Chain A
Amino acid sequence: MFNKSRVLFGLFALFIFTVSAPVTAQKAPTFSLDSDNGKISLNQYKNKLVYLDFWASWCKPCRTSFKFMNEIQQRYGNKGLQIIAINLDEDRASAARFLKSHPANFKIAYDPDGSTPGAYNLKVMPTSYLIDKRGNIILTHKGFKETQAPELEKMIAQALN
Protein backbone atom coordinates (compact mmCIF):
# COMPACT_ATOMS: atom_id res chain seq x y z
CA MET A 1 0.00 0.00 0.00
CA PHE A 2 2.87 2.30 0.86
CA ASN A 3 4.55 1.63 -2.47
CA LYS A 4 1.41 2.29 -4.44
CA SER A 5 0.79 5.66 -2.84
CA ARG A 6 4.42 6.58 -3.42
CA VAL A 7 4.06 5.81 -7.12
CA LEU A 8 0.89 7.86 -7.29
CA PHE A 9 2.52 10.74 -5.51
CA GLY A 10 5.45 10.50 -7.93
CA LEU A 11 3.07 10.74 -10.86
CA PHE A 12 1.42 13.77 -9.34
CA ALA A 13 4.77 15.46 -8.71
CA LEU A 14 5.87 14.72 -12.27
CA PHE A 15 2.70 16.33 -13.61
CA ILE A 16 3.22 19.48 -11.54
CA PHE A 17 6.82 19.62 -12.69
CA THR A 18 6.01 19.31 -16.40
CA VAL A 19 3.36 22.02 -16.14
CA SER A 20 5.53 24.52 -14.31
CA ALA A 21 8.82 23.87 -16.13
CA PRO A 22 8.39 26.02 -19.30
CA VAL A 23 7.79 29.20 -17.28
CA THR A 24 11.46 29.57 -16.34
CA ALA A 25 12.84 29.13 -19.90
CA GLN A 26 14.24 32.43 -21.18
CA LYS A 27 16.88 31.14 -23.57
CA ALA A 28 16.52 32.48 -27.11
CA PRO A 29 15.66 29.62 -29.52
CA THR A 30 18.37 29.19 -32.14
CA PHE A 31 17.65 29.30 -35.88
CA SER A 32 19.38 29.02 -39.21
CA LEU A 33 17.65 30.89 -42.03
CA ASP A 34 18.29 32.02 -45.59
CA SER A 35 19.43 35.56 -46.27
CA ASP A 36 20.51 37.43 -49.40
CA ASN A 37 24.03 36.07 -48.90
CA GLY A 38 24.19 32.70 -47.19
CA LYS A 39 22.67 31.40 -43.98
CA ILE A 40 22.09 33.49 -40.88
CA SER A 41 22.03 31.85 -37.47
CA LEU A 42 21.87 33.24 -33.97
CA ASN A 43 25.09 31.41 -33.00
CA GLN A 44 27.08 33.63 -35.36
CA TYR A 45 26.40 36.62 -33.11
CA LYS A 46 27.35 35.20 -29.73
CA ASN A 47 29.58 38.18 -28.84
CA LYS A 48 26.94 40.75 -29.82
CA LEU A 49 23.79 42.20 -28.38
CA VAL A 50 21.19 41.00 -30.86
CA TYR A 51 18.00 42.92 -31.61
CA LEU A 52 15.80 40.31 -33.26
CA ASP A 53 12.78 41.66 -35.10
CA PHE A 54 9.94 39.79 -36.85
CA TRP A 55 8.33 41.66 -39.76
CA ALA A 56 6.29 41.25 -42.95
CA SER A 57 5.56 43.50 -45.93
CA TRP A 58 1.83 43.67 -45.13
CA CYS A 59 2.43 44.81 -41.54
CA LYS A 60 1.95 48.57 -41.26
CA PRO A 61 3.81 49.34 -38.00
CA CYS A 62 6.81 47.49 -39.48
CA ARG A 63 7.35 50.46 -41.80
CA THR A 64 7.97 52.81 -38.89
CA SER A 65 10.08 50.24 -37.09
CA PHE A 66 12.45 50.02 -40.09
CA LYS A 67 13.29 53.70 -39.74
CA PHE A 68 14.04 53.16 -36.05
CA MET A 69 16.13 50.05 -36.66
CA ASN A 70 18.21 51.78 -39.32
CA GLU A 71 18.93 54.57 -36.85
CA ILE A 72 19.96 52.39 -33.91
CA GLN A 73 22.04 50.06 -36.09
CA GLN A 74 23.97 53.09 -37.28
CA ARG A 75 24.30 54.54 -33.79
CA TYR A 76 25.13 51.39 -31.81
CA GLY A 77 26.54 49.05 -34.47
CA ASN A 78 30.15 49.75 -33.51
CA LYS A 79 29.27 49.35 -29.82
CA GLY A 80 28.23 45.72 -30.29
CA LEU A 81 24.63 45.82 -31.51
CA GLN A 82 23.46 43.63 -34.38
CA ILE A 83 19.92 43.85 -35.71
CA ILE A 84 18.50 40.77 -37.39
CA ALA A 85 15.08 41.22 -38.96
CA ILE A 86 13.29 37.99 -39.86
CA ASN A 87 10.86 38.37 -42.75
CA LEU A 88 7.70 36.26 -42.53
CA ASP A 89 6.21 36.86 -45.98
CA GLU A 90 5.15 33.72 -47.80
CA ASP A 91 6.68 34.95 -51.06
CA ARG A 92 10.04 36.60 -51.20
CA ALA A 93 8.95 39.00 -53.98
CA SER A 94 6.72 41.02 -51.61
CA ALA A 95 9.62 41.25 -49.16
CA ALA A 96 11.88 42.47 -51.97
CA ARG A 97 9.35 45.15 -52.95
CA PHE A 98 9.14 46.32 -49.33
CA LEU A 99 12.93 46.46 -49.00
CA LYS A 100 13.17 48.51 -52.18
CA SER A 101 11.02 51.26 -50.70
CA HIS A 102 12.34 50.78 -47.13
CA PRO A 103 16.06 50.01 -47.45
CA ALA A 104 17.68 48.36 -44.41
CA ASN A 105 21.26 48.68 -43.16
CA PHE A 106 20.95 45.54 -40.99
CA LYS A 107 20.70 41.78 -41.54
CA ILE A 108 17.54 40.40 -43.14
CA ALA A 109 16.67 36.71 -42.84
CA TYR A 110 13.81 34.95 -44.64
CA ASP A 111 11.44 32.51 -42.97
CA PRO A 112 8.61 31.93 -45.49
CA ASP A 113 7.42 28.78 -43.67
CA GLY A 114 7.05 30.59 -40.35
CA SER A 115 9.18 28.08 -38.44
CA THR A 116 10.77 30.53 -35.98
CA PRO A 117 7.96 32.78 -34.67
CA GLY A 118 6.25 29.87 -32.91
CA ALA A 119 9.44 29.05 -31.02
CA TYR A 120 9.61 32.67 -29.89
CA ASN A 121 5.94 32.59 -28.90
CA LEU A 122 5.17 35.52 -31.18
CA LYS A 123 1.71 37.00 -30.64
CA VAL A 124 1.85 40.41 -32.31
CA MET A 125 3.42 41.79 -35.49
CA PRO A 126 6.00 43.25 -35.26
CA THR A 127 7.64 41.88 -32.12
CA SER A 128 11.28 42.41 -31.25
CA TYR A 129 13.52 40.59 -28.79
CA LEU A 130 16.73 41.81 -27.21
CA ILE A 131 19.14 38.90 -26.80
CA ASP A 132 22.31 39.29 -24.70
CA LYS A 133 25.73 37.74 -25.32
CA ARG A 134 24.83 34.61 -23.37
CA GLY A 135 21.80 34.01 -25.58
CA ASN A 136 19.16 35.05 -23.05
CA ILE A 137 16.10 37.07 -24.01
CA ILE A 138 16.32 40.19 -21.86
CA LEU A 139 13.52 42.21 -23.44
CA THR A 140 10.40 41.53 -25.49
CA HIS A 141 8.77 44.44 -27.25
CA LYS A 142 5.35 43.84 -28.80
CA GLY A 143 4.17 46.10 -31.63
CA PHE A 144 5.85 49.34 -32.60
CA LYS A 145 4.89 52.99 -32.27
CA GLU A 146 7.15 55.90 -33.04
CA THR A 147 6.52 57.34 -29.57
CA GLN A 148 8.09 54.23 -27.99
CA ALA A 149 11.38 54.68 -29.86
CA PRO A 150 13.23 56.83 -27.25
CA GLU A 151 12.36 54.42 -24.41
CA LEU A 152 13.43 51.42 -26.48
CA GLU A 153 16.68 53.10 -27.47
CA LYS A 154 17.42 53.85 -23.81
CA MET A 155 17.01 50.17 -22.91
CA ILE A 156 19.29 49.11 -25.76
CA ALA A 157 21.96 51.60 -24.69
CA GLN A 158 21.67 50.31 -21.12
CA ALA A 159 22.09 46.71 -22.23
CA LEU A 160 25.24 47.65 -24.16
CA ASN A 161 26.91 49.16 -21.10
Chain B
Amino acid sequence: MKLLFTLMTLLTISSCSLYNAAGNAFKTEQVNAWERNILARDDMQLDADPVRTFSDEHIYFSKEASTGGRGVGGGGCGCN
Protein backbone atom coordinates (compact mmCIF):
# COMPACT_ATOMS: atom_id res chain seq x y z
CA MET B 1 0.00 0.00 0.00
CA LYS B 2 2.77 2.34 1.03
CA LEU B 3 4.68 1.53 -2.12
CA LEU B 4 1.61 2.23 -4.25
CA PHE B 5 1.12 5.68 -2.76
CA THR B 6 4.78 6.54 -3.13
CA LEU B 7 4.67 5.47 -6.75
CA MET B 8 1.53 7.49 -7.38
CA THR B 9 3.05 10.61 -5.83
CA LEU B 10 6.25 10.20 -7.79
CA LEU B 11 4.24 9.78 -10.98
CA THR B 12 2.15 12.90 -10.40
CA ILE B 13 5.15 15.03 -9.48
CA SER B 14 7.19 13.90 -12.47
CA SER B 15 4.30 14.37 -14.90
CA CYS B 16 3.77 17.85 -13.43
CA SER B 17 7.35 18.92 -14.06
CA LEU B 18 7.43 17.31 -17.50
CA TYR B 19 4.21 19.08 -18.43
CA ASN B 20 5.64 22.43 -17.33
CA ALA B 21 8.90 21.92 -19.19
CA ALA B 22 7.08 20.97 -22.40
CA GLY B 23 4.64 23.86 -21.97
CA ASN B 24 7.43 26.42 -21.69
CA ALA B 25 9.34 24.96 -24.63
CA PHE B 26 6.31 25.28 -26.90
CA LYS B 27 5.43 28.72 -25.63
CA THR B 28 8.70 30.24 -26.81
CA GLU B 29 8.11 29.05 -30.37
CA GLN B 30 4.43 29.77 -30.69
CA VAL B 31 3.04 32.78 -32.56
CA ASN B 32 -0.41 33.55 -31.23
CA ALA B 33 -3.29 34.11 -33.62
CA TRP B 34 -3.45 37.82 -32.75
CA GLU B 35 0.30 38.30 -33.31
CA ARG B 36 0.39 37.09 -36.92
CA ASN B 37 0.26 40.54 -38.52
CA ILE B 38 3.16 40.37 -41.05
CA LEU B 39 2.89 36.57 -41.30
CA ALA B 40 -0.68 37.00 -42.54
CA ARG B 41 0.40 39.00 -45.59
CA ASP B 42 -0.08 37.46 -49.05
CA ASP B 43 3.63 37.66 -49.88
CA MET B 44 4.47 35.80 -46.68
CA GLN B 45 2.55 32.68 -47.66
CA LEU B 46 4.41 29.48 -48.58
CA ASP B 47 2.84 29.73 -52.03
CA ALA B 48 2.80 33.48 -52.51
CA ASP B 49 1.50 33.40 -56.10
CA PRO B 50 -0.75 30.38 -56.80
CA VAL B 51 -1.43 31.37 -60.44
CA ARG B 52 2.28 31.50 -61.20
CA THR B 53 2.86 28.18 -59.45
CA PHE B 54 0.10 26.63 -61.57
CA SER B 55 1.60 27.90 -64.81
CA ASP B 56 5.15 26.87 -63.84
CA GLU B 57 4.03 23.37 -62.99
CA HIS B 58 1.98 23.07 -66.17
CA ILE B 59 5.04 23.83 -68.27
CA TYR B 60 7.26 21.55 -66.20
CA PHE B 61 4.91 18.58 -66.46
CA SER B 62 4.33 19.08 -70.18
CA LYS B 63 8.07 19.19 -70.88
CA GLU B 64 8.95 16.27 -68.70
CA ALA B 65 5.86 14.22 -69.57
CA SER B 66 5.69 13.41 -65.92
CA THR B 67 2.20 14.31 -64.81
CA GLY B 68 1.72 13.16 -61.28
CA GLY B 69 5.26 14.09 -60.31
CA ARG B 70 4.05 16.60 -57.77
CA GLY B 71 1.60 14.32 -56.05
CA VAL B 72 -1.31 14.95 -58.41
CA GLY B 73 -2.95 11.92 -60.01
CA GLY B 74 -2.50 11.56 -63.77
CA GLY B 75 -1.62 9.20 -66.56
CA GLY B 76 1.74 10.55 -67.71
CA CYS B 77 0.59 11.30 -71.27
CA GLY B 78 1.84 14.88 -70.94
CA CYS B 79 -1.40 16.18 -72.39
CA ASN B 80 -2.76 18.21 -69.48
Question: Footprint of B on A, CB under 8 Å?
Answer: 1, 4-5, 8-9, 11-12, 15, 54, 56, 58-60, 88-90, 114, 117-118, 122-125, 127
Q: What A residues does B41 contact at CB under 8 A?
A: 58
Tell which of B29-37, B48-56, B60-68, B72-80 binds the partner: B29-37
Category for how many chain B residues contact A: 10 to 19
The proximity string for B residues 1-21 relative to A, scoring 1 for CB distances below 8 Å and 0 otherwise, is 110011011001000100000
Question: Footprint of A on B, CB under 8 Å?
Answer: 1-2, 5-6, 8-9, 12, 16, 32-38, 40-41
Report the 3 A-B pairs with minimum CB-CB distance, sorted nearest first: A8-B5, A88-B34, A15-B12
Min CB gap A61→B, angstroms: 11
Q: Do A56 and B37 contact each other (CB < 8 Å), given the known contacts A11-B12, A12-B12?
A: yes
Min CB gap A94→B, angstroms: 9
